[in-house]
């Protein structure tokens, strides 16, 4: 009996040692990544301390904007609480973390996100056009605004050090771009495409940063690692004519940069900036690149995304902020808010360059475009017969403006809110 027991123990030890050998270890690579990722974008966090006293100054800002800034603190709290309950492996935030780059807003948002990190959820961020060297960083006190401290590129890296930079496996010396591997077998290529010297709304993927990015994609492919991109501005047009009418929401060199990244093997890019929940794809030969744009948490319908990754299959669903302290029936409130705001903004847009229409014409067109923008923000646009008639009527009066309205209502493939993507 003792001999048999020794024999069994010896065999067990050999078996365990064999299972622990390098040859038999399961290696996580691009083919067998399994993870849950969530994405929120354009948080535009506005720290309550910056509203010293409500008054004409803050109300004038709200009247010229589409964002629910007065509720941003409560909205952010609600989104973070929901994400914490869903326990993703990773949360991505592709820019516009703050209202206008205020240091206190960066610091306060980081403190809130620390709660997610402390619960075991990894978080990666990249900067948006609002976040650095922003001259609009102010506090509001009645009729007056007062400049407040904003962050520099170096400040951004310091504040958000634990949100990508300290764990980066590669960093671009010419920008705030970096590569991280937060999940075994999956790398995130976070690209800084913003202009902040001086600060501008538009963006560009600089030549030297693009060259660096192509090297990172090649390295990931050589090591059989999956690699997804994240940047603030759009990489592909989300509707026909976007580059013509709203070029500042795409990087300047979107056509050449997207082709270069796609030819290198990139298949997924997470973006934000436009505040629309929209997905588009671009095909070159037998390759496909997806631009997965996530809407803003402070702009109706206040969405955020959840992705389930299983090997080469990605299932995407959309969640919405619904419960916000101090606001009953928040979704209805947010929809009414943006509807009113977009009507005023569209009127101003048509009275300005390049349209320069008389006020009467601008006011006539504004409601149609407010509806079109809202449909695009929500994603999966599906115009009714009345909407199609409105597009036709506008086109008869102005072909170019009618084309723009029709483009907003046209949903380019694939679906925007619930879709499954199979990667090559």
Dist. CA 166–CA 143, nearest whole Å:
42
Cβ distance 216 to 256 under 8 Å? Answer: no
Closest CA to 297 of 62, 4, 125, 69: 69
* The pLDDT value given to residue 18: 41
Cβ distance 337 to 324 under 8 Å? Answer: no
* The pLDDT value given to residue 23: 45
* The pLDDT value given to residue 2: 41
* The pLDDT value given to residue 16: 35
Give tens-digit pLDDT for 307-350: 999 999 999 999 999 999 999 999 999 999 999 899 989 999 89
Cβ distance 386 to 367 under 8 Å? Answer: no
Which residue stretches of the chain have pLDDT < 50? 1-26
Indicate the burial class of 246 (C-beta count within 10 angstroms; 0-12, 13-18, 19 or more). Answer: middle
* The pLDDT value given to residue 14: 36
DSSP secondary structure, 288-343, as one string: EEEEEE--BTTSTT-EEEEEEEETTEEEEEEEE---BTTBSSHHHHHHHHHHHHHH
Q: What is the pTM of this model?
A: 0.92
- Name, in order, each residue with C-beta under 8 angstroms of 313's C-beta and a sequence gap of 6 or more: 420, 421, 422, 423
Dist. CA 310–CA 283, nearest whole Å:
23
Question: What does the block give as tokens for 8?
Answer: 């069994």
User: 69: how many CB neighbours lie within 10 A of its CB?
Assistant: 19
* The pLDDT value given to residue 402: 95
Dist. CA 149–CA 101, nearest whole Å:
8
Give tens-digit pLDDT for 219-244: 999 999 999 999 999 999 999 999 99
Strand 138-141 and strand 51-53: pairing? parallel
378 phi and psi, to 5 degrees?
-75, -30
């Amino acid at each position: 009996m003792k001999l048999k027991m020794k024999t069994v123990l010896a065999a067990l030890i050999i078996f365990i040692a064999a299972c622990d050998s390098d040859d038999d270890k399961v290696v996580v690579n691009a083919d067998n990544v399994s993870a849950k990722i969530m994405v929120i974008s354009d948080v535009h966090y506005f720290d309550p301390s910056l509203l010293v006293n409500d008054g004409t100054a803050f109300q004038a800002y709200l009247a010229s904007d589409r964002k629910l800034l007065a509720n941003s603190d409560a909205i952010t709290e609600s989104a973070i609480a929901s994400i914490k309950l869903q326990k993703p492996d990773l949360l991505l935030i592709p820019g516009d973390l703050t209202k206008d780059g205020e240091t206190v807003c960066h610091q306060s948002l980081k403190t809130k996100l620390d709660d997610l990190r402390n619960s075991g959820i990894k978080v990666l961020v990249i900067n948006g056009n609002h976040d650095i060297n922003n001259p609009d960083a102010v506090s509001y006190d009645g009729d007056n605004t007062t400049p407040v401290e904003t962050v520099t590129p170096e400040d951004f890296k310091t504040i958000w050090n634990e949100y990508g930079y300290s764990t980066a496996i590669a960093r671009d010396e010419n920008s705030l771009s970096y590569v991280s591997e937060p999940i075994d077998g999956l790398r995130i290529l976070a690209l800084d495409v913003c202009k902040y010297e001086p600060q501008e709304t538009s963006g560009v993927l600089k030549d030297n940063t693009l060259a660096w990015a192509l090297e990172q994609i090649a390295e990931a492919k050589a090591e059989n690692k999956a690699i997804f991109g994240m940047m603030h501005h759009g990489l592909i047009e989300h509707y026909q004519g976007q580059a013509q009418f709203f070029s500042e929401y795409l990087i300047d060199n979107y056509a050449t940069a997207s082709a270069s990244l796609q030819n290198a093997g990139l298949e997924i890019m997470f973006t934000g900036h436009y505040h629309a929940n929209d997905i588009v794809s671009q095909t070159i030969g037998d390759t496909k690149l997806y631009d997965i744009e996530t809407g803003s948490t402070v702009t109706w319908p206040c969405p955020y995304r959840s992705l389930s990754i299983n090997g080469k299959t990605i299932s995407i669903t959309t969640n919405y902020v619904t419960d916000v302290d101090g606001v009953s029936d928040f979704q209805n409130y947010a929809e009414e808010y943006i509807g009113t705001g977009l009507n005023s903004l569209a009127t101003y847009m048509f009275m300005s360059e390049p349209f320069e229409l008389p006020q009467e014409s601008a006011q006539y067109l504004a409601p149609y475009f407010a509806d079109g923008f809202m449909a695009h923000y929500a994603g999966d646009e599906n115009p009714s017969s009345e909407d199609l008639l409105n597009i036709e009527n506008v086109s008869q009066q102005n072909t170019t403006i009618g084309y723009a309205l029709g483009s907003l209502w046209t949903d380019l493939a694939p679906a925007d809110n619930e879709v499954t993507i199979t990667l090559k």
